[in-house]
A and B are shown apart, each in its own frame.
Chain A
Amino acid sequence: MTDPRPILPPGQRPLVLEMQGVDKSFNGAVVALRKMNLAVHEGDFISLLGPSGCGKSTALRLISGLMPPTAGRIVWNGAVQAGDLGVVFQEPTLMPWATVAQNVWLPFRLRGQSFASVRDRIAGALALVGLENFHNAYPRELSGGMKMRVSIARALVTNPRLILMDEPFAALDEITRQKLNNDLLALKAKIGCTVIFVTHSVFESVFLSDRVVVMAARPGRVIRELAVPAPYPRDMIFRTSPEYAALCRDASDALVEAIGVAA
């Protein structure tokens, strides 16, 4: 792995990307997203929280460049190269015919870099997610949580400026999910990555992020932004603290409002 990015205090962090009044509609009628503004700074951990159909996944697809916005702009600070963006989907999305290490090699391979030339970075990424002993395993030999770890290793192996995660732990059981949440925060503390995390779990969003963006559906839009001021690292003590409970209630209220507005 390359050097970790230093995490500066909020307010001094350089901008990574900004969504400016972004609209997205399909077939000229269905409005998936309306006037979304979002500034992402280096080291941010932002959760997009909302009911299904609120456009949170659409926002990720727009940021990743898989489709263009109908109106508005998505502005990156500086030029973007392949590998500046890491993505983790809801499914692990691994190539079943390739070993764990070969899967993590993919972003480099597509840039024409040989396995040998990036062997150390692949090993580093797999060590970060705790899979140092599984380089030559095939995906089908791994559990759901381990597959997700491979997917995360692949997303961060290029040391991207931004990592997008689209409900990555939604399909996992609660125990695995909590473990991966803890590990994700430990990982963030180690390498200082910038993350946009889509979820429909209030508890997950508050535990992980320093900013929760609550969204409502029909049309998809941002209705509230909550700051989570608790310092990292966060652990079981934070998970059981009154502060955490209060923040979760705030987020829940906002979510109820979101669903209420939508209905």
Chain B
Amino acid sequence: MTLADRHIPPAPDALFDAEEARRARMKRIEGVAKWLLPVLVLALGVLAWDRVVVWNDIPHYILPGPGLVLQTLVKDWAILFDALLVTLQITLMALAVAVIGGVGLAVLFTQSRWAEMSFYPYAVILQVTPVVSIAPLIFIYVDNRLAGLLLCAWIVAFFPILANTTLGLKSADHNLTDLMRIYRATRWQRLRYLQLPSALPYFLGGLRIAGGLSLIGAVVAEYVAGTGGIGSGLAFRILEAGYRLNIPRMFAALLLIALTGVVIFAGLSFLSHMLLRKWHESALKRET
């Protein structure tokens, strides 16, 4: 045994002090609370809803209890699921067209200042005019109902993608832009190797907003367009159930729409995380 051995502190816990232990504990608790609290709030809310209905003897054509809504969801599943597929189809198609249109216009705008000056104001006007007020006109002039629905949803959804992607394409690092010039990159190379990757985080931010908006656009368009042609979506089912005072079915359809929105948002957030996790600050976990 050498002299040095005797001086080694006996407690290995010295590196992990009370302060650190407390912080680790807090982190664990927070991790659980993040899931537990919303679930708890939901459970309490549903319970309160149920009690209010039961205690006050509220008739189901005014406010159905949560149990009845779930029952209806199961009982009417065939109708509602078909409607969900229709709405989902329009939403996803509108989102796809919004991505193509938004990114396409953004690229055009950054490549040509003239194009930007000419068309950007009209993109803004389309965005700020409420879709409910344009939709009736669209269905007068567009015969194909699917095309009309798509157009409505697209008008609502494309702008955040256009605005964000344009900003992203213009935010490429100035020194890297200079470097591209020094290496005599073509315009296309600069777009492909520098501007598009720089714009990716911005685009993905716009995409998450557009995902929710295309669902809203699809629902609003359905309200205006009514039935016919391609079958009925969830929004039409809600209208129809309202006319028949079938309030439980209204709630069930509403539940499905809300769930669809949440799933779309979660899916796009996941996509964004997967694409950025290797390099972008937003996907970084801070180590402290």
Contact between A95 and B197, CB atoms less than 8 A apart:
yes
Contact with A along B244-288 (1 / 0, CB 8 A): 000000000000000000000000000000000011110010000
Interfacial chain B residues near A140, Cβ < 8 Å = 279, 281, 284
Query: Which of A80-88, A212-220, A227-235 contacts its partner?
Result: A80-88
Contact between B182 and A66, CB atoms less than 8 A apart:
yes
**26 sampled A-B residue pairs with Cβ under 8 A:** A66-B178, A66-B182, A83-B183, A85-B182, A87-B178, A89-B178, A91-B175, A93-B173, A93-B175, A93-B176, A93-B179, A95-B193, A95-B194, A96-B279, A96-B280, A97-B197, A97-B278, A98-B197, A106-B183, A106-B193, A107-B183, A109-B193, A110-B183, A110-B184, A110-B185, A138-B279
Give chain A's interface residues, CB within 8 Å of chain B. Answer: 64-66, 82-83, 85, 87, 89, 91, 93, 95-98, 106-107, 109-111, 138-140
Interfacial chain A residues near B194, Cβ < 8 Å = 95
Q: Which of B154-197 contact A (CB under 8 A)?
A: 173, 175-176, 178-185, 189, 193-194, 197
Interfacial chain A residues near B176, Cβ < 8 Å = 93, 95
Question: Least Cβ distance of A59 to chain B in Å?
Answer: 15
Interfacial chain A residues near B175, Cβ < 8 Å = 89, 91, 93
Interfacial chain B residues near A138, Cβ < 8 Å = 278-279
Distance between Cα atoms of A66 and B184 in the complex (Å): 11
What 5 A-B pairs are tightest by C-beta distance, nearest first?
A82-B184, A93-B175, A89-B175, A97-B197, A96-B279
Distance between Cα atoms of A138 and B279 in the complex (Å): 7
Question: Least Cβ distance of B168 to chain A in Å?
Answer: 12
Question: Least Cβ distance of B285 to chain A in Å?
Answer: 12
Contact of A110 among B180, B278, B280, B281 (CB under 8 A): B180
| B86 at the binding interface (Cβ < 8 Å) | no
Interfacial chain B residues near A89, Cβ < 8 Å = 175, 178-179
Interfacial chain A residues near B225, Cβ < 8 Å = none
Distance between Cα atoms of A83 and B185 in the complex (Å): 11
Question: Least Cβ distance of A238 to chain B in Å?
Answer: 32
Contact of A64 among B173, B182, B278 (CB under 8 A): B182
Give chain B's interface residues, CB within 8 Å of chain A. Answer: 173, 175-176, 178-185, 189, 193-194, 197, 200, 278-281, 284
Distance between Cα atoms of A98 and B193 in the complex (Å): 10
Contact between A87 and B280, CB atoms less than 8 A apart:
no
Distance between Cα atoms of A107 and B176 in the complex (Å): 12
Interfacial chain A residues near B284, Cβ < 8 Å = 140
Interfacial chain A residues near B281, Cβ < 8 Å = 140
Question: Least Cβ distance of B173 to chain A in Å?
Answer: 6
Distance between Cα atoms of A65 and B180 in the complex (Å): 12
Interfacial chain A residues near B185, Cβ < 8 Å = 110
Interfacial chain A residues near B189, Cβ < 8 Å = 110
Question: Least Cβ distance of B185 to chain A in Å?
Answer: 5
Contact between A97 and B200, CB atoms less than 8 A apart:
yes
Contact between A65 and B183, CB atoms less than 8 A apart:
no
Question: Least Cβ distance of A164 to chain B in Å?
Answer: 9
Given contacts A65-B181, A93-B176, A97-B197, could you give 6 more A-B pairs where the C-beta distance is less than 8 Å? A64-B182, A66-B181, A66-B182, A83-B183, A87-B179, A89-B178
Interfacial chain B residues near A110, Cβ < 8 Å = 180, 183-185, 189, 193
Contact of B182 among A87, A91, A98 (CB under 8 A): A87
Distance between Cα atoms of A110 and B183 in the complex (Å): 7
Which residue of the partner chain A has the closest CB to B275? A97
Distance between Cα atoms of A140 and B175 in the complex (Å): 18
Most interface-central of A83, A91, A98, A110 (chain B CB within 10 A): A110
Interfacial chain A residues near B184, Cβ < 8 Å = 82, 110
